[in-house]
Amino acid sequence: MFRPLLVTVFGLAAATSSPASAQLCDALAPSPVGTVVAVSDGDTFDLDTGLTVRLVGIQAPKLPLGRTDFEAWPLGEEARERIEELALGREVTLHYGGEPRDRHGRALAHVVVEHADGPLWVQAEMLKSGLARVYSFPDNRACLSELYDAERVGRAERAGIWRDPFYAIRDASRPETILERLGQYELVEGRVLNVEVTGSRAWLNFGRYWKEDFTVIIEGGGLRLFQREDFDIKGLENRLIRVRGWIESHDGPRMLVTHPEQIEVLG
């Protein structure tokens, strides 16, 4: 049975909810608290315990952070300043729902900070403010439905990044414009023309010319994860979807998808 994990056709009531103040999902486990003493960017900060925290589940606009060959993304400073407003000098609680550390030793955590009007989920607030996008990994998939709800609020209100062409949702039927975003993390929408599954690999084709048109690739462990989730990839044929990931170039623009939550079924 085809079972889309994320369906994003919602009414106005859903778009105007307040996910930032919502409860964290039950899959998370709290850990000891710490105080934020320094903020690097819109999704990374340091605690007084010496631990560096990467806000899992989101990606804020990137800053150079000492990289001389890196150009800051639009609204990077605004995202960093928003984290400072929310958390700098405050005590926060970390919550884990997947792999707890990345390869740099940073904590991969959902973060709650106490404010006068109650606890605030930092990830959801950044998304609702339009200063981050949902960004997930196959080993860290907790609370993604709630995070998508928060992102939807920011996008509906055209807050922050959603007014900037740098973060525009790309059109799968215009592969030449997607290639211009090579090496970037992008959201792409389009109708799947056909799906091919052969052995340990699946192709979602968005055009008739596979050497030129946009393609989504699912392979290896990613394909097995789709199968374990009972996600019928063939059922995506002729469906309008949104995918998110890094743009590569091989026989036209393509994107590697490693877990089902990278795909939103729009209709």
DSSP string, 222-260: HHHHHHHTT--GGGGTT-EEEEEEEEEESSSEEEE--SG
Q: How far is C-alpha 130 from the chain's CA centre?
A: 12
Give the largest CA-CA distance in the chain: 56
The pLDDT of residue 23: 67
Domains of the chain: 14-161 (2.40.50.90), 169-265 (2.40.50.140)
Residue with tokens 């084709």: 205
pLDDT tens profile 86-125: 999 999 999 999 999 999 999 999 999 988 888 999 999 9
Of 251, 171, 176, residue with least CA distance to 215? 251
Instruction: For the beta carbon of residue 99, count every other beta carbon within 10 angstroms.
Output: 12
Phi/psi of residue 155, each to 5°?
-70, -40
How far apart are alpha carbons 65 and 51 in whole angstroms? 18
What is the band of 15 on the pLDDT scale with cuts at 50, 70, 90?
A: very low
Per the prediction, the chain carries an average pLDDT of 90
Average pLDDT over residues 249-255: 95
pLDDT tens profile 51-87: 999 999 999 999 998 788 889 999 999 999 999 999 9
How far apart are alpha carbons 213 and 216 in whole angstroms? 10
Of 106, 99, 119, 108, residue with least CA distance to 24? 119
H/E stretch holding 114: strand 107-115
**Would you state the torsion angle of the CA atoms of residues 198, 199, 203, 204, taken in this order, to the nearest 10 degrees?**
80
Residue with tokens 């890094």: 246
